Amino acid sequence: GDSDPNGVDFYCIRCIGRATVHGIINRCPVNFDELKTTLADAGIDLVADLKEQVGEILEAQAPSDESRLLVLAKLPRQRDEGGDVQNVEQVAFGMMSILEVAEATGWYGRNPDGIGVSALLKNQYDSNFATNVHVEPFRLSTNTSRDLARVLSGLPSSNESWDPKVVMIGVGALGSQVHNHLSRMGWGYWSIVDDDILYPHNVVRHRLGDFSIGESKARATQHLNDIATPYNKVASFHHATIQDASHDEALKAVIDDCDIVLDISTSIAAARFIAHDLDCQARRASAFLNPSGTDAVLLLEDAERNWTLDAIEAQYYRNVLRTEALSEHLATSPSVRYSGGCRDVSSRIGQDSVSITSGIIARQLRSASTDPLAVIWQLSDMQTVHRTDIELADPVRTTAGAWQIVTDQEVIQTALALRGQKLPTETGGVLVGYLDFERNIAHIVDALAAPPDSQECSMSFVRGSAGLQTTMSEISKTSAGQVVYLGEMRMVAASTVSIDNRFVSAGHCRRC
């Protein structure tokens, strides 16, 4: 009933047929008479339906000769006569003029002045006139729904697979595209948290474009998502940091109700807050690119949170230190200055790299099991991807005075192996890892053997220093300065292992 002065009005009527055995349409109707015959086979009296429904239109409206008619028909289909309806076929046909169609029914005739039509006393259906009323078949499509998006993406229904409520922390280049991939597929119910705005240089790698410069990334991403994929709208956006959850009631409510907290903020402060201070039952995940953008990393807790994100991160660092192919994994690349501030620099990473890695991370997230996960993907110059799955050891937590010590069975087994090599003398070594002074937590990443100049006797051990400074420098370089010297390890002749609880923050041991 709405008129567009610059467009064409379509008036729609509906027809519903009886259940018929599905057959083959040999010829598509091209005029009103053929359409009448075709629909009659499905139990539809097109002339009677048009008399009633077009009559209502003519009484309520004043359609012109340019106003068109659209016939929508539902045709229930069954496999066998008398059987159940297997599906409902929906077809549509358009006709150029609703007034011509009214005349073709035989129930209406042109007014003497040639303007409009009036009802006739009796039906005078003229098949020759109806043959000249052109009919055009329309292709019917439905708007994409969330369920249809999942089907088109090859995903099982929400009832058959993990379809969580996700709070994503950080909607930068990587985060915006991971969200775009999964949201378009109908996977996840999303809330977005980010306190940053979009800068001009961001558009090179961000899902948002130049039109959003100066806007909140979280707000603009929600707006774009609601336009692009309204079947999977962002539930809420929060122009905030995750640390604001301690006093932001709206943000806290969203987190309390979510199934997974996905950190793509590249903020160490945010990562540690999520791992230790965020009070909720949701699984935590962390995804990021290495400084050069060639490698992607995903760390994911198990569903029961026995492997927490901080414990998985320490094992990720150990894998980087022990794997020769990852020696340059965290190496920095030349940056680009985009403004005059001392910290106004950005990485040299291509959109193609972000697109590839975001797609890989998105696929891994949606297909993850309930087990913990730590994966590194490396892109080569030959456009191949090498995947490294980190075998996670059981975490071990203990205390030493006011400090909490977090390590794992791999570190302990490494220490026991070093112990076994030196029996019956006492031995020792160096523990490396990183410290969280705000929370008094020491993460032990690995245990190093005693330097070759150490003094190992049956009743005593004095750790040497030969080559240790070089080793620590290499560890610092490979880990981008994250893994440092923590303390000493002493293993007595009785095959027990003790850890010195005197931690220092310096980058070198006491005897270097």
Q: Which two tokens stand for residue 191?
A: 């809330």
Q: Which helix (H) or strand (E) holds 140?
A: none
Checking if the pLDDT of 166 tops 50, the result is: yes
Give the 3-state secondary structure of residue 359.
helix
Average pLDDT over residues 355-364: 96
Q: What is the pLDDT of residue 502?
A: 45
Q: In whole angstroms, what is the distance from residue 270 CA to residue 194 CA?
A: 11
Q: What is the pLDDT of residue 501?
A: 47
Q: What is the pLDDT of residue 2?
A: 58
Q: In whole angstroms, what is the distance from residue 217 CA to residue 238 CA?
A: 10
> Do 415 and 494 touch, CB atoms closer than 8 A?
no
Please give the DSSP secondary-structure letter assigned to residue 232. G
Q: In whole angstroms, what is the distance from residue 213 CA to residue 197 CA?
A: 8
Query: Lowest-pLDDT range, 7-11, 207-211, 249-253, 411-415?
Result: 7-11
Q: For the CA atoms of 27, 32, 37, 40, what is the dihedral angle to 10 degrees?
A: 120
Q: What is the pLDDT of residue 169?
A: 97
Tell me: the pLDDT tens digits for 96-127?
Answer: 788 888 888 888 888 888 788 888 877 888 88
Tell me: the pLDDT tens digits for 286-320?
Answer: 999 999 999 999 999 999 999 999 999 999 999 99
493: pLDDT confidence band, cut at 50, 70 and 90? low
Q: What is the gyration radius of the CA atoms in the chain, in angstroms?
A: 35
pTM of the model: 0.81
Average pLDDT score over the chain: 89
Checking if the pLDDT of 503 tops 50, the result is: no
Q: In whole angstroms, what is the distance from residue 299 CA to residue 506 CA?
A: 28
Q: What is the pLDDT of residue 7?
A: 67
Q: What is the pLDDT of residue 255?
A: 96
Q: How far is CA 273 from each of CA 119, 243, 373, 439, 491, rounded to the nearest angstrom?
A: 76, 7, 20, 10, 35
217: pLDDT confidence band, cut at 50, 70 and 90? very high
Checking if the pLDDT of 482 tops 50, the result is: yes
Q: What is the pLDDT of residue 195?
A: 95
| Contacts (Cβ under 8 Å, ≥6 apart) of 372 | 300, 301, 302, 306, 307, 312, 392
